[in-house]
A and B are shown apart, each in its own frame.
Chain A
């Protein structure tokens, strides 16, 4: 199984709502990522979890709160978002965290989910 799944596919929320995005992989990968992608732009890294611990936070506003309940699941909790947060949110996983000397190439290959299209009104 080389699939990363994300739910929901689409989400519309108001600025006062609380919602969560979910991501799941069953490839035994130990690194998981959240990216944000605006239209016609490349993905921008938000968070990295390595062995279920948050290893990178790219200065993301606190209205985005990541959570890694176990090695297969990654959540992104959303609260009090702004309209400019509307984007495609992509989850990805890789065999291991980047930066390790062991098998950098395998660790570098990321498997992406289909994304959640988020619209904040």
Chain B
């Protein structure tokens, strides 16, 4: 069954540094999404990347997708304290009828 595995589980960096988090999955997908969740709040959609795309940008976010390796990465450049949150990759399940969330990476950006 489809499953997203993320690493690292937790990441602590200084403000201004870049943060990279990775997501690997098992079965082929049409798209992959990244969401952010601030502590105890709802999730916010960040980026959707299609299976025929290799890279996508949105402001300070860069997402890559390597379908041959079944993996994606989210890069946050010039991080800010406000980027402190949990980041989840999200994949359609086999059959595509629901979304499966990865375990998440907890990012802490120190001011």
Q: Contact between A113 and B42 (Cβ–Cβ < 8 Å)? A: yes
Chain B interface, DSSP helix/strand/loop, else mixed: strand
Q: Contact between B97 and A99 (Cβ–Cβ < 8 Å)? A: yes
Task: Report chain A residues within 8 Å CB of B98.
Answer: 45, 48, 56, 98
Q: Does A111 contact B (CB under 8 A)?
A: yes
Which one, B40, B96, B99, contacts A110 given CB within 8 A? B99
How far is A88 from B45 in the complex, measured between Cα atoms in Å? 18
Given contacts A105-B50, A109-B33, A109-B48, contact A98 B40 (CB under 8 A): no
Q: Does B43 contact A (CB under 8 A)?
A: yes
Q: Does B41 contact A (CB under 8 A)?
A: yes
Which one, A48, A92, A108, contacts B33 given CB within 8 A? A108
- Total residues of chain A contacting the partner, CB 8 A: 27
Q: Does B85 contact A (CB under 8 A)?
A: no
Q: Contact between B44 and A104 (Cβ–Cβ < 8 Å)? A: no
Query: Number of contacts between A and B (CB, 8 Å)?
Result: 67
Q: Could you tell me the distance in whole angstroms from the C-beta of B104 to the nearest C-beta in chain A?
A: 6
How far is A93 from B103 in the complex, measured between Cα atoms in Å? 21
Q: Which B residues have a C-beta under 8 Å from some C-beta of A?
A: 30-31, 33, 35, 40-45, 48, 50, 88, 92, 95-99, 101-104, 106
Q: Contact between A105 and B48 (Cβ–Cβ < 8 Å)? A: yes
How far is A4 from B44 in the complex, measured between Cα atoms in Å? 11
Given contacts A98-B99, A99-B96, A109-B33, contact A90 B43 (CB under 8 A): yes
Q: Contact between B95 and A90 (Cβ–Cβ < 8 Å)? A: no
Q: Could you tell me the distance in whole angstroms from the C-beta of B68 to the nearest C-beta in chain A?
A: 21
Q: Contact between B96 and A104 (Cβ–Cβ < 8 Å)? A: yes
* Residues 62-121 of A contacting B (Cβ, < 8 Å): 88, 90, 92, 97-99, 104-105, 108-115, 117
